[in-house]
Structure 1
Amino acid sequence: MSVSTSRPSEAVSLVTVDYPPVNALPVQGWYDLADAVRSEGRDPGVRCLVLAAAGRGFNAGVDIKEVQGDTGHGTLIGANRGCFEAFSAVYTCEVPVVAAVNGFCLGGGIGLAGNADVIVASEDATFGLPELDRGALGAATHLARLVPQHLMRALYYTSRTATAAELHAHGSVWKVVPEGELMGAAMELAVEIARKDGCLIRLAKAAINGIDPVDVHRSYRFEQGFTFEANLSGVADRVRDTFGKEARP
C-alpha cells in the first residue's frame, strides 16, 4: 500500500495511488498523497502532473473500516483533515494536474478528480458520491464542478453514479478511451501541457484558480461541519453500521 512518484516523461510527474483492493485510503494515505502532490508540484523541473491509481478503480474514498474501528472521533477527524489536505494539494498544485480515472471514482475520488485541472477517463469509469449510504456527507462541492447543479443534487441524494461518457457530454471529462489506452491518453495530454514554458504555466494555473467562482476550500469545509454533526448526533453510526451488510444473505 503506497503513494509513489515517477517521471515517465520529461517535465511530467506521475503520482500513483495503490491501496488494494479498492483504493479506499486510510488517514495516513490521504496525507501521503497530499505530500506527494505538493512536493512534485514544487519541483521546478515539473510542468504537469498526472494523478493515477493502480488496480481496478481510481478511488473508493475513505477507508470506512478504519473509521468503524475507532470508538472515538479521532479517525473521523483525521480522515476529514486528510481529505481536505489531499483535495487542496491537487487544487493548489503549482502545475496543472491531469487525473487519469479508471473504474470507480467515488467519495474522496470525486474530491480528487473534481479538483484536478483536466480529467481523462476510461470507458468503464463511473463517478459518484455514495456518502448518504455510508453515514457521511461532503464533496458535493467537487461533484458540482463535474455536473450541472440539479444533476449533482439528484446524484447526491440517490447515491447513483454517472458514467465517463455522461461527464464527457457535460464537458467535464476531456477524453474517454478504452481502459488499456488510459495512461497513454493522459500522458499524451500531460506532455503537450509540459511543452509550455515552466514559469508561464505556473502563472496560468495561479491565474485560473484566482478567477474560480467558488472557493472550494471554504465550501468543502462548510460541508464537513455537517459531517461532524451527523456523527455527534449518532445518525452517521446508525447508517455506517449497515455498510457492507446489504448484500449478505
Structure 2
Amino acid sequence: MKRVLVLSSSPRRDGNSWTMAQAAAGGAREAGHDVDVAHLADYVEGLFRDCRTCRGADGACTIGDRYEELLHERVLPADGLVVATPLYWYGMSGALKTFFDRLFCYTSGSAPDGETVATGLTGKRAALLIACEESYRGATAGLVTQFQELTRYLHQELVGVAVGIGNSRGEVQRDPGRPLEQAAELGRRLFDIRVTDYRIDTVRSNRVWGRTPESGNGTAPLASATAPGG
C-alpha cells in the first residue's frame, strides 16, 4: 500500500478538475492505496515574495497561511501525487503556480528545513489532470511541458496526463473521451505504469515489455544507442 495525495487546485469545490480529482482518488482507493485529497485553496493564500524581506529571524517563512502544513504533513509523506488543475490562460491555476513558486523558500538553501523538504519531494510518482474548455490539443501543450520539467527537476516520475473537456460545472462527465475513466486509471495504476526516459548512453534491452513467448530465454543483447522501434 502506498500513500497518495490528490491535490485539487481549482478555487471551485465542484468544478470539472475537482470531478477528475475525485475520479483519480477513487481509482487509487480501488488499488488499495491510502488516499488523501486536499483542496489547495484551504492552504495557499499568500503569493511568493522576496525571502530576504519576509523570512523570520529563525529562517522560517512568515507568510501567514497553511502552506507549510500542507507541505510537511500531506505532500512530503506521499509516495504519489495526483495534481488537478483547470486550464487558466493556457497554464495552471494561479494557486498551483504559487504552490510551486513557494517551494523556492525551502530549496534555495536558506530555510532551516530545506534539506528535509528537498529530499522529501524527490522520488515520487506524479500524474496531471487538466480540465479545459478547448479540445485543441495545443491548448494544454504548454502546461504539460511545464509539468514535465517540474517533475524532472524534482526527480519525480510523471506517469501520465488526463485532459477533460468541459466548461459548466460537472460537464466533464459528458466528454466522450471519457476523462474520468482516464483519471481513475491513472490513480489505479499510479505505481504500475512504466516510465522511461532514455539517453544515448542508456543501457537497455531491445524489448520494451520484457520476455514474451516468442523471445526464448529473454536474453536479447543490450542496446545503448538504438532508436525506438516502430
Relative to the length of structure 1, the TM-score reads 0.32
Q: Which has the larger radius of gyration?
A: 2
Higher RCO (C-alpha 8 Å, min separation 6): 2
Higher helix share: 1
Relative to the length of structure 2, the TM-score reads 0.34
